[in-house]
Structure 1
Amino acid sequence: MTDPITPVLTRNWADERAWKLTNYERQGGYATLRSALHKSPDELAGMIKDSQLRGRGGAGFPTGVKWSLLDPDKSKPRYLVVNADESEPGACKDMPLMMASPHTLVEGVIISCFAFGAKHAFIYVRGEVLHVIRRLQQAVMEAYSAGYLGKNILGTGFDLELIVHAGAGAYICGEETALLDSLEGRRGQPRLKPPFPAVAGLYGSPTVINNVESISTVPAIVANGIDWFTSMGVDNGKGMGIFSLSGHVKNPGQVEVPLGTTLRQLLDLTGGIREGHRLKFWTPGGSSSPVFTDEHLDVPLDYDSVAKAGSMLGTRSLQIFDETVSVVRAVSRWVEFYKHESCGKCTPCREGSWWLAQIMQRIEAGQGQEGDVEKLLDLSDNIGGKAFCALGDALVTPVNSAIKYFRDEFEAGYHTPAWELFPYERNVVYVQPAGVAQ
């Protein structure tokens, strides 16, 4: 197999103290910013649009198109908000990126704001990751001291203020409008759309909301050019992306490869499934994406191919499960998570998540009742597409897809507990070494 690995955003992660400004500059950091500030904003925005960079946070909306949708009326200030509230179960790419190389993101923020005319930017980080917050705050302070942020950046007359904001730890704040409400000091709950953030976002002003990886990719595109970026990936899925693999793989972690790489190739790169076991099911885009099985090993991992196969690329959070795992147990845990994280604003999600969790718990315990599977499907039908935001869809997609591929396991829950069919101690990833205190 040809090695598809293409380290761009991850190329300096192993460098000593890669997060420090001096080491980032030694690798060419901020040189792209210096050249970008001498281009016209329209030229920079056009480069991102022509590169076909699609959002790296889940939906895959074209980044340059999102920028172009900003209200052309410039009587109000424009804002950039970086969504760093990575909290999808299984997702682990934005946090390592900010931890290892925060200046990659900071440089992307500055270039992006210059391109579409924002003078204030915010990085909204999940509150629990205090180590990441401190690392980002340090990077921002270094950037201010070096003249990359603040007034008259590098003598060009461009001003930009960047604030790192810590959230309070709510999954719902990964939804862009709930994030905005939280940033404004209110309870994080989704807003009714329209108006969309591009017209009336933060403080009622035009706002761009992009994922960490999306903004971090901007300097590489500006530095290397459109042709370089579009030479990687596939049609309608250009460039590279960070894929995070967890679960029953020999070497879990982050791998940066072109979009369109398959799970089979990624498993080859990470050593494959743990010894003596085989792949049973996996998620291509975190727990909110419909599950795949071993029959999907060769599906190209790009937006359109994954959607055509019945799932979504999402956050590229590949959770790998072997044959020792109960699908019922895994889905039950995900449903419990979404029930806990529901903001309670709309009835389908608030009530539906509770009922789904109750049924899943009794099926897992071997106390399911005849018709419970049909009841799960009926509940899912009344939640999916009918909730106020996408959390309702995230709640039901693993349920529907798991029943599609493993209905017999759900029906076995009418009489046998999942822990008897699949003893939980068999699927643990980490075993406590002998003689080590618990």
Structure 2
Amino acid sequence: MADTLTPVLTDTWDAEKSWTLKAYRGRGGYRALDKALAQEPDAIVESVKASGLRGRGGAGFPTGMKWGFLPPLEPGKPRYLVVNADESEPGTCKDIPLMMASPHTLVEGVIISSYAIKANTAFIYIRGEVLHVVRRVQAAVREAYEAGHLGRDIHGSGYDLEIIVHTGAGAYICGEETALLEGLEGRRGQPRLRPPFPAVAGLYASPTVINNVESIASVPSIVDNGGDWFASMGTEKSKGFGIFSLSGHVTRPGQYEAPLGITLRKLIELAGGVRKGHELKFWTPGGSSTPLLTAEHLDVPLDFEGVAGVGSMLGTRALQIFDETTCVVRAVLRWTEFYKHESCGKCTPCREGTWWLVQTLANLEHGRGSESDLDQLDDVCDNILGRSFCALGDGAVSPITSSIKYFKDEYLAHLREGGCPFDPMKSTLFEGALA
């Protein structure tokens, strides 16, 4: 497994006006589309299966297999492709930069993927707060229509496709695929009961494939270079490359595209190290909804199996780096407040449980309560985990249980000192924090 950067999705980001059709075509853009239209749709599905591409939205489910779940095509029964561009997980920042720097990579991926699953309508669901991204993708779609890459009889192939860019209302829960479908249909974004699954009865009760931006954007390179090329990167079970988003206390935060299986140690090295004079305390491998890891996990392969092997999840590869000046209790409280606010309220464990988690964590952060509150936290988390309607509840408890596992002494220190020991008014721990 190579441990160097592999710019594929990010390869065009340094081009002048990289977001334009001219710049994209100058780097070989839409070449893969011609190759795709010269093949049968099923052949593209098989190529994606052979590549080993797994969903880049967090779950890591094999993309080609997901496409294969669609029932046989029925006359008069449309199929839909829906691109989940909501990207609202705290710490996650890969899809938005991709759509800003190279929206045509996504558009070409949507066309090829729609052709592969025999869909004639595709939706790109973008969260409403990022209006600049919405406008850029809309402009790219418009350019694609004008160039004949979209619409009727694309490239003389007889294939028709319409792309609709849909602006969401800014609900975190709409990152959950069935809540996203509810939003697309004009209803309140709340998860649906499953089964039926979207592949059978998704958007407008029709067979639907829902994929993340990065998953779909990876398809053109697979078609252009072959499934074996993609599978040659990464690890045995986690193939290919991905965008790793480093934020927080590193010298050069940003997007680092590398093969799956690279280690955080290597990525931090590429990012110039943890900020000068400080050392790594804890980090998230896939955004705030994944269990925390510590410096002892620096050499864990960042693939689906490696991260799962140490009790966490690769998720969206949102690597948030925190040094020793960070209060883990305060960080976890802030994340929990977010999940409480963003709960759709549909199910009791999540709606009520996240409220109680915030109350208990806030008391601990201010030095109130007792050691038994840690047991209460564990108990509430246990009653949410696996019992909420969707994965929001599971994600909300992950940083809590993992932080207690690795930093129980820090929780107890809050109780001993009657407040946060990282408070600059009470402690010297913050000296140099702004250096």
3-state DSSP class of the match of 1:61? coil
Which amino acid in the other structure matches residue 327 of structure 1? Answer: V
Which amino acid in the other structure matches residue 254 of structure 1? Answer: Q
Which amino acid in the other structure matches residue 68 of structure 1? Answer: G
Q: Which aligned pairs between 1:29-68 and structure 2 lie closer than 5 A?
A: 29-68=29-68
d(CA) in 2 for partners of 1:17 and 1:130?
19
Distance 1:429 1:209, change over 3 A: farther
1:435 paired residue number: none
1:213 paired residue number: 214
CA drift of 1:226 comes to: 1.6
Identify which range, 179-188 or 36-45, moves more after superposition: 36-45
1:291 paired residue number: 292
CA drift of 1:426 comes to: 3.6
CA drift of 1:429 comes to: 8.0
What is the TM-score when the length of structure 1 is the normalising length? 0.96
Q: Which aligned pairs between 1:205-354 and structure 2 lie closer than 5 A?
A: 205-354=206-355
CA contact (8 A) 2:422 2:430 kept: no
CA drift of 1:35 comes to: 1.7
Gaps of 5+ in 2: none
3-state DSSP class of the match of 1:91? coil
Identify which range, 35-44 or 98-107, moves more after superposition: 35-44
CA drift of 1:2 comes to: 7.4
**Is residue 23 of structure 1 aligned with residue 23 of structure 2?**
yes
CA drift of 1:149 comes to: 0.5
1:358 paired residue number: 359
Aligned length: 431
3-state DSSP class of the match of 2:29? coil
1:88 paired residue number: 89
Identify which range, 337-346 or 412-421, moves more after superposition: 412-421
CA drift of 1:419 comes to: 3.8
Distance 1:277 1:380, change over 3 A: same
CA contact (8 A) 1:373 1:411 kept: no
Q: Which aligned pairs between 1:408-419 and structure 2 lie closer than 5 A?
A: 408-416=409-417, 418-419=419-420
3-state DSSP class of the match of 1:237? coil
CA contact (8 A) 2:51 2:229 kept: no
CA drift of 1:72 comes to: 1.4
Gaps of 5+ in 1: 432-438
CA drift of 1:177 comes to: 0.1
Distance 1:130 1:426, change over 3 A: farther
Distance 1:122 1:290, change over 3 A: same
CA contact (8 A) 2:82 2:209 kept: yes
d(CA) in 1 for partners of 2:103 and 2:418?
46
CA contact (8 A) 1:324 1:422 kept: no
CA contact (8 A) 1:81 1:123 kept: yes
Distance 1:409 1:430, change over 3 A: closer
d(CA) in 2 for partners of 1:428 and 1:95?
33
Which amino acid in the other structure matches residue 363 of structure 1? Answer: L
Distance 1:73 1:26, change over 3 A: closer
2:105 paired residue number: 104
CA drift of 1:412 comes to: 2.1
1:378 paired residue number: 379
- CA RMSD, aligned part only? 1.6
CA contact (8 A) 1:41 1:116 kept: yes
Distance 1:81 1:2, change over 3 A: closer
d(CA) in 1 for partners of 2:116 and 2:18?
27
Which amino acid in the other structure matches residue 72 of structure 1? Answer: P
d(CA) in 1 for partners of 2:384 and 2:3?
42
CA drift of 1:421 comes to: 3.2
**Is residue 79 of structure 1 aligned with residue 68 of structure 2?**
no
Which amino acid in the other structure matches residue 221 of structure 1? Answer: I
d(CA) in 2 for partners of 1:138 and 1:128?
17
Identical amino acids, percent of aligned pairs = 66
Distance 1:418 1:136, change over 3 A: farther
CA contact (8 A) 2:50 2:231 kept: no
CA contact (8 A) 1:367 1:416 kept: no
d(CA) in 1 for partners of 2:140 and 2:149?
11
2:188 paired residue number: 187
CA drift of 1:420 comes to: 3.4
State the Cα deviation string for residues 396-437 of structure 1 (Å, max 9, x = none).
Answer: 010000000001111222243554335399499878xxxxxx
d(CA) in 2 for partners of 1:53 and 1:265?
23
1:392 paired residue number: 393
